[in-house]
Amino acid sequence: MTVDLSPVQEYYKDKTIFITGASGFMGKVLLEKLLYSCHSLKEVIIICRPKRGKTAETRLEEMYKLPIFQRIKDERPHMLKKVTIYQGDVTFDLLGLSGDSLKHVTENTNIVFHMAATLKLEGNLRDAIDMNLVGTKRALAVAKQMKNLEAFIHLSTAFCNCDQEVMYEKVYEFPHKPEDLIRMAEWMDVKTLDTITPDLLKPHPNTYTYSKRLAEILVRDHYESMPVIIARPSIVSPAAYEPIPGWVDNMNGPTGLMIGCGKGVIRSVLVNQEYKAEVIPVDYAINGLIVIPYEFNKQAKRPSQVPVYNITNADHRKMTMGTVVELSKRINRQIPLNAGLWYPDPCVTTNRFYHNINVALFHWLPAYFLDFLLLLFGQKRFMVRVQQKISTGLGVLQFFTLTAWSFRSELYCSLWNKLNEEDKAIFNMNMNVKETEDDYMEQCALGARKFILKEKEEDIPSARLHMKIQYVVDVVCKTLIVGLFLYYVLKWTGVLALF
């Protein structure tokens, strides 16, 4: 039976796609979307390393059990047979491929999506260089051998040029050369490298954005001989529509902050409420990625400079941080999380001194107190360890929440404008939808409950009751603390003796 294909679907017909990082958040959504919407493709090849005693094949089978693959199982189960998995790793030469597997990849691949990376913002420089910079070099080395390569899409980050007031869709120069850093990381011991890291990173806040910036330069330098393209998503948030509204599988970025505050564990955050939140739903980012090779190869003349796409939300859809905070508080009252530690009402401030006082009183002090109680009862202590992770995470995030970001995303916007109506219905990137930001935030809250915390919707009424009790306890405790403070101040000053 002949199936009518849209222009983008026609482009992917009989194509073989190679993906690194397919087991990550964006990688899973990309794999699912390609299989579901580009159903005339020939094959999708992914590499995956063994993890926690599980083989690459076992990890793929477990991935298929995720709810995001259900629509494929229901409507197009034969597409799962088009996935070929090889054991591989971007930290190995030739990505760990050899023999028949390397031959199959290089002789058949048409499009590469290089998405593998370490996202640990607080990670050490050696690991970041090995994964994000050298890993990209290894992926490019394999791609060079591909006989029918049409596009190599390198996934970067919109925040890798943080020294620029306005970030345009181009590669920015940097004093450090990728090859120099690669050689330095090879011969220098970890202790010495860690010592000089703070000076090397400037003006970058962490090893992630630093290594990603160098990787962009490395990719750009291959543009003359290879069809390379750079895609820079901002902070990737839960799905707006596909494959399931609100779907998310990690606690990175806004999702972790939402859960931490919703559980009452995070009591204070450094956020400038006047700045705009830079997030993009994962399905919008993935649809953009899929359309990029099609758009690149339909051009009559190849661009003189390497194409760069800032995959960011439209300006008129961006909310201020303050609006996000207020929406989150309201939605959290409607859709509370189960069994929170305390009433969720975090302090949001830009004053570091005030923030540090709050952290000492409401993060560290309760953590040590609870661990002391656990010690008395002979139980395993964990609260201080959890708090250390929270403290590290908040320390890394504050650079992004205290900085005003400005992105120009004309090329990304043009992807949507150039699609015909049929492709627009399939690869949605519409920034003028009827659904509001409130609707999206509610889907994110429900997604965090369902997919991360595994909490059931039928538990929401009892969670609301639990929150009301927490509110009363919170008010009583605050009243007692303030009352005792005033009492001792009045007593110390002698005012109390006058009554």
- Residue 327 contacts residue 437 (beta carbons within 8 Å): yes
Helices (H), 242-351: 253-262, 282-298, 321-334
pLDDT band at residue 343 under the 50/70/90 scheme: confident
Q: What is the pLDDT of residue 138?
A: 96
In this prediction, residues 74-79 reach a mean pLDDT of 94
- Residue 228 contacts residue 182 (beta carbons within 8 Å): no
In this prediction, residues 184-197 reach a mean pLDDT of 88
Burial class (CB in 10 A: 0-12, 13-18, 19+), 75: exposed
- pLDDT reading at 423 higher than 70: yes
Radius of gyration of the chain (CA): 25
In this prediction, residues 427-436 reach a mean pLDDT of 86
Run of H or E including 148: none
CA 300 to chain centre: 34
The residue to which tokens 């900085």 are assigned: 403
In this prediction, residues 92-104 reach a mean pLDDT of 93
Q: Cβ neighbours of residue 25 under 8 Å, at least 6 residues apart?
A: 236, 248, 249, 250, 252, 282
- Residue 166 contacts residue 241 (beta carbons within 8 Å): no
> How is domain 7-248+273-314+406-431 classified at the CATH fold level?
Rossmann fold (3.40.50)
User: Mind listing the pLDDT tens digit for each residue in 220-268?
Assistant: 999 999 999 999 999 999 999 999 999 998 887 788 888 888 888 888 8
Q: What ranges do the domains of the chain cover?
A: 7-248+273-314+406-431
SS3 at position 58: helix
User: Mind listing the pLDDT tens digit for each residue in 393-419?
Assistant: 777 788 888 889 999 999 999 999 999
- pLDDT reading at 499 higher than 80: no
- pLDDT reading at 1 higher than 70: no
Q: What is the pLDDT of residue 4?
A: 85
Q: What is the pLDDT of residue 222?
A: 95
Predicted TM-score (pTM) of the model is: 0.92
User: Mind listing the pLDDT tens digit for each residue in 130-176?
Assistant: 999 999 999 999 999 999 999 999 999 999 998 898 999 999 999 99
β-strands 43-48, 16-20 pairing: parallel
Closest CA to 92 of 58, 139, 50, 52: 139
Closest CA to 308 of 294, 296, 318, 316: 296
pLDDT band at residue 345 under the 50/70/90 scheme: confident
Rounded-to-integer distance, Cα 352 and Cα 358, Å: 10
Residue 258: how many CB atoms within 10 A of its CB?
27
Run of H or E including 83: strand 83-87
Residue 324 to residues 88, 189, 483: CA-CA distances in angstroms?
40, 43, 33
Helices (H), 335-409: 352-359, 365-376, 383-401
